[in-house]
Each structure stands twice: as structure tokens, then as C-alpha cells.
Chain A
Amino acid sequence: MNKDFDYKKYIPLLKKYEIIIASSIVIFVVVVMTFLLLIPNFDRAQNIYAQQQDLKRNRDVLQKKVNSLASIDAQYYKNNFAKIDQVLPTEKDYVSLFYTFDTLEQKTNVSLLKTDFQLGVISTNSAQLTRVPGSSAYVLPVGIQVLGSLSSIQNFIKALGDFSGRYITVDSFQIETKGGDAFIATLVGKAYFYPLPATLGSVDTPLPNMNSDEEKILNTIAKIQQTSSEEYSLPSSAVGKKNLFQ
């Protein structure tokens, strides 16, 4: 038996169907190349296009931010930041509280009898601090007792919240007569402070918008007299001999 493959007997068959076979091979190769090359190419193009759209959105956000920054009067905000810091400081800053009370005492003709703060909040940074709900600002409970006429007490309460000094809200009051036109008012309220954030956000973080109420507050604060650091310092006290042998 002849075990060798006799290909010669297939040659007539190939010749008979050569057109069909060649065309089929071409069609098969085209189909395979479509799946191997063409479709991945289109996928790649789609991915690049999608990334392009993301970049366009990012570019628009950044352009908007650049335009907003260009329109900001940086000097105006720098000039007023120290004043805003007086109204809402970055730390508890009891000195500014005392200064505010002293100033209002003179401005509204009341006499300050007593001020109370929560000692636990003063003593250590780890003491329990209460935040303003929904924000990063902290609350400093205060109690104030003043003596004056009803109208001067009314002016004092108004001045606590008019952004002319440290901002203090009054939650409740009690006023009692001391005879004649003199009243003692006991006010329970809150002062606030807002520590500086650790970061300002990434480069593509949009600038916050300022609404009309906030602009009004800024305009009010811009008019206040900025307190210089000298006004905060205590007067120097006379000291004794520095040298005992003199």
C-alpha cells in the first residue's frame, strides 16, 4: 500500500475551484484584519475622543477660574482681610473680645459689669469645642452683664452684631430695673472663630461665589476702623530694682 500523500490527485480539483478558493481566502483575511486592526483602532479613537471631552471640560473650568482671578481686586481683599479677622478671628482670641466690649462700652454708654466664658474652652486646645452646625467655624459661648438705660442696652445689643467689632450673637437676654432709667441686662450669646484651613483645594477647584448678602457684610466690614496691634498691648507696669545691690 502506498502510504505517501498523493497531492497530485488534488491539483485538478484546486485548478477547477481556484477562483472560489482565492476569493474566500481574501474575504477571510479581510474579516480577520477587521477584528484585529480596524475595530481596535476605532476603540482607541473613541477613547481619545472621550478623554478630549474631559480635557475640554477641565480647560473650560480653568479658563473660567483664570477669568475670575483676573477680575478680583486682590489689594481690596488684602486690605480688608485683617478687618474680617477682627470680626471672625482664626483663634479664640479673647483679647479682641475684651477690646470689643471696651469699645462698645464707650460707644453705647453702658457699663460692663461682668463677662463669662466657658473655662473649658479657654484652657486647652483639646477641650471640647462646639462647631457652628454645617460649617467649620467654632462657637465660643459668652455671657455679658451690662448696666445702662434701656435705649443704651438696645444699642449695645445691636452693636454686638453689626460687624463693627468681634461678631457676637445674643441667644437670650434678661433685663431688670435698678431704679429710674437704670437697667441691668444679662446677655447669653456666642462669639465665633474660624481656623485657617490646611489647604485651599486643587488648581481646578472653582472659586467660591460671593452672594449679595456676603458682599453687603464685606462692605460693612470694610468701613470699620482696623485695630492696630499697638492698641491691643497692655500698658507696661513699673518694675522694681533689677539689681538688688544697687
Chain B
Amino acid sequence: MPKRSVNLILPIEKDKPLVKKLKIILPVIAVISLLSFTIVFLASIFYVNSNIFQFNLLKSEIDQLENNIGSQKNTEGIYTLTTSRLNILDQVSGKSANFTSLIGAINQMNLSGISINSMASDNKGNVTFSVAASSSASMDSLVSYLLDKDKKKLFSKIEANGIVREKTGSYTLTITLLANNSLLK
């Protein structure tokens, strides 16, 4: 009988090319990702703790500053109340009219032969006044004065009404005009 041999060694199955590649790439990726994760995670813990430390430092600084401010409550109170009052006075005085210059300008009309009987004004500069002029020459001076003020833009919209000539030769009239804002400051 001829000899028969039995081959008991199993044939090695060769891996497919894709599997071969994966067996190389995947372990590398796994190691790199694990190392990276560990490093980044430790760095994040350090970053968080550092931020918490800074936060606590700032908090204690703020507490100190608040205590300091609290101890100066009286100073803050008196200063705040003073500035708020001054602010109101500044607001109000800025918006209100000061008639001193206007009265002075009208008073200047008390020239020779001119007397002011009455005057009135509101805070927008609408002025009305009545004058008596003893003669036509005085009237002339009055008109020159008003024209001069008109030229200097201190008075505008000047109107004369109710001009009455008395038997004695004197004149009484009412004048309305608009005073410039500069006369109300």
C-alpha cells in the first residue's frame, strides 16, 4: 500500500488589504486620541481651577471695596444730595428768563422828554410798553433809539400803536416788540 501523508497544518488565511490597513491605522488613532484626550482634559481642569481662583480673588476685592464705600455712606449721601440739587438749579436757571438786561434796555429810553408809563414782558421776549414823549423831538429820539436797537438785532417786530397827540404837544403811544434772547439771559 503506498504511503499517504496528511497535512495537519492549517493554511494561513491571508488578510484582505483593507483589514491589513485597519490593523495598522486604528491602533495608532486609538493611542493618539487617548493621549490627546488625557492631556486636554488635564489642561481643562487646570484652566477651570485657575479661573475659580481668580474669581474668588476678585470677589474678595469687591467685598473690600463695598465695605469701604459702605463706611463712607455719609459722604456719598451729602455729595449726591448736593449735586442733585445743583443739577436742578442749573436746569431751572438755564431755562428761565432773566429780565434784568431787558428792563435796563427799556430804562435807557428814559431820555430827555421821554417817560415810560408802563412795561410788560413774558419769558419769550414779547414786550409791551407805553411811553409819553413831551415833544416831536423826543419822539424822534425815541424812534432813533428803537431803530438803533433794531439794527443791533436786540429788538425786532417793533410796532407803535395808539399814538395820541395831546393838546400840549406831547405824545403817548404803545410800543410792542420782540426782544432778542440775549436780553433775557
List chain A positions with a Cβ less than 8 A from chain B: 17, 19-20, 22-24, 26-27, 30-31, 33-34, 37-38, 41-42, 44-45, 48-49, 51-52, 55-56, 58-59, 62-63, 65-66, 69, 72, 74, 77-78, 80-81, 84, 87-88, 132, 134-137, 150-151, 153-154, 157-158, 161, 163, 167, 169-177, 192, 194, 196-197, 200-201, 203-204, 207-211, 213-214, 217-218
Contact = CB atoms under 8 A, between A and B. Distances in A.
Contacts of B84: 136, 194, 197, 208
Contacts of A197: 81, 84
B115 A177 contact: yes
Interface residues of B, number: 71
Nearest to A180: B115
A45 B66 contact: no
B93 A218 contact: no
* Top 6 A-B pairs, shortest CB-CB distance: A23-B26, A169-B96, A26-B30, A214-B86, A62-B65, A23-B30
Interface in B50-85: 51-52, 54-55, 58-59, 61-62, 65-66, 68-70, 72-85
A62 B78 contact: no
Given A27-B33, A150-B107, A176 B117 contact: yes
13 contacts: A20-B23, A23-B27, A55-B58, A65-B65, A66-B68, A72-B79, A74-B74, A134-B91, A169-B96, A170-B123, A192-B92, A217-B86, A218-B82
A132 B92 contact: yes
B28 to A, nearest CB: 8
B92 A169 contact: yes
B75 A74 contact: yes
Nearest to A78: B78
A154 B100 contact: yes
Given A38-B40, A176-B118, A217-B90, 14 more contacts: A30-B30, A48-B51, A81-B78, A81-B82, A136-B84, A150-B103, A161-B96, A171-B123, A175-B118, A175-B119, A192-B88, A192-B92, A200-B80, A214-B83
